Amino acid sequence: MILNATRTRRAFLCDLARLGGSLAGLGLLAGCAPAPPPSAPGPPRMYRVGLLATGQLAEVSPSPRTGESYALSEFWSRLAELGYVEGQNLTREGRRFVATSVDGVAPLDVRAAELVRLPVDVIVIGTSPPNIRAAMAATTSIPIVMIGLNTDPVAQGFAESLARPGGNVTGVIGAPAEVHLKRPQLLTEAVPGVSKVAVLGDAPDLASGAWISAAASLGVELISLPDPSRDGFESAFQYAVAERADGLVIRSGPSLGANAQLIGSLAARYRLPGISIHREFVTGGGLMAYEARASEIGRRAADYVDRILRGARPADLPIETPTRYDLVVNLRTARALGLTFSRDFLARIDEMIE
C-alpha cells in the first residue's frame, strides 16, 4: 500500500483496521470506532408574547373589521409567517383592562403587573399612552413594543428619540404630529366653507404653535371641546353646537378609540361633518377618517417582536412611523349633509363606505 505523505499515522491505522488488519493486541484501535449518533434535538423554545389593551385588541382571535383589531390580526399573521406557531413555540397572553379604579388601584396597572409576573418575553401595547405608562411602571427590563400609538412617544417621555429610544420601549406609532395637522386640511377640502372647527380629544394648545398656524392658513377658527370622560360625549357635542361649530376633528384620547362608533353616530345626529383618526368613526356614521394603514402597523410591529426575540435590544431599534395612510369616507353621511366632493378629492379617497 502506498501512503500519501500527508496522511496521519492514526488515519493509516484506522484504514488498516477496516481492511482486516489485527491491531487490537497493540491497543491501537482506540478512537477508531464510528462516532455515536447525534442526540435528538430538545423541544423548541416557547416564547410568551403579552398584550395589554382594551376591548377586542386583547382578544386572541379579534374581528378584522376595526382598525385596532385589524392591526392585531395582521400582527399575529406576520408572526406566523416568521415561524411563530401558537402551541409550538408561541404562547399568547392577552390582558384586558377597564378605565375605572378598584380600591384606588387602576386595573390597568394590575394587568401590566400580571404580564410581568408570568413573565412574558415581550409586551405589546395598544394605541393609548396610559397603557405604555403602566407597562413601563411594571418593568424596566422586559421589552415593550408599541403598535399604533397615536401620540409623540418622545414628548410623552417613552423614548429619548425616535432614532434611538434608549430604554425598553420601541415599535411603530400611528402618526407623527404633522399628520394630525393634515386632518383639518382634509376637512376643509371635503366641506368648503367650514369656518369653526371643534377639536375633540387630546387637543393641543389651540392658541399657539403649529395648530394656530394651520388654522390661520386654512381660514378657520379652532375651539376645544370639553373632556368627554368628565362630562360625557353628548355634552361635548351640545357644546360644539352652542359654539356654532360647523366642523369636527377627533384626535386621540382616553376612551375615544373604544367609543369611536358612538362619536360617529353623534356626529351624524348633530349633522356635524368630522374627521377622525379611527375608521370606526366612519362606520358609526361620521364623515371621514384619515388613519395610518392598520395592516402595515401590525406587520411592522411583529417584525420588531421577532427581532427582539432573536436578541435585538429595544433601546437600539428606531421607532417607526407609518408610510401609508387611508382616507375613508362615509358616502351616505356625505349625501345626508348635502356634500358634493370635487373630482380631485374623490381621487384621494381610499375607501368608501355606504
Same domain, 237 and 269: yes
Same domain, 117 and 205: no
Same domain, 214 and 338: yes
Sequence-distant (6+) residues with CB within 8 A of 68 are: 53, 55, 56, 57, 126, 127, 148, 257, 294
Same domain, 339 and 200: yes
Same domain, 299 and 338: no
- As a whole number of angstroms, the distance between CA 133 and CA 187 comes to 32
Same domain, 118 and 183: no
Tell me how many degrees the CA angle 319-320-324 measures, rounded to the nearest 5: 165
Number of domains forming the structure of the chain: 2
- As a whole number of angstroms, the distance between CA 298 and CA 227 comes to 30
Host H or E run for residue 228: helix 228-231
Same domain, 282 and 315: no
| 38 occurs within a structural domain | no
The pLDDT of residue 262: 94
Q: For residue 252, which phi and psi values (nearest 5 degrees)? A: -85, 170
Same domain, 171 and 183: no
The CATH number of the domain where 308 resides is what? 3.40.50.2300
- As a whole number of angstroms, the distance between CA 175 and CA 349 comes to 18
| 132 occurs within a structural domain | yes
| 349 occurs within a structural domain | yes
| 21 occurs within a structural domain | no
Same domain, 298 and 156: yes
Query: What's the sign of the alpha-carbon dihedral 145, 147, 152, 157?
Result: negative
Same domain, 170 and 308: yes
Q: Which amino acid is at 202?
A: D
- As a whole number of angstroms, the distance between CA 94 and CA 115 comes to 9
DSSP assignment string, 254-320? TTTTTTHHHHHHHHHHTT--EEES-HHHHHTT-SEEEEE-HHHHHHHHHHHHHHHHTT--GGGSPPB
| 275 occurs within a structural domain | yes
Q: Which domain holds residue 274?
A: 177-292+326-353
| 202 occurs within a structural domain | yes
The pLDDT of residue 41: 62
Strand partners for 144: 123, 169
The pLDDT of residue 65: 45
| 5 occurs within a structural domain | no
The pLDDT of residue 39: 58
- As a whole number of angstroms, the distance between CA 2 and CA 109 comes to 79
The pLDDT of residue 202: 66
- Condensed to tens digits (0 to 9), the pLDDT of residues 5-20 reads 444 555 554 554 454 4
Same domain, 341 and 193: yes
| 62 occurs within a structural domain | yes
DSSP assignment string, 101-117? -BTTB-HHHHHHHHHHH
The pLDDT of residue 243: 94
Same domain, 215 and 169: no
- Condensed to tens digits (0 to 9), the pLDDT of residues 284-294 reads 999 999 988 88
- Local mean pLDDT, 10-residue blocks, the chain (354 residues): 47 50 44 58 83 58 51 91 95 74 64 92 86 92 92 90 95 85 93 93 65 87 84 91 95 78 95 93 96 91 97 96 93 96 94 90
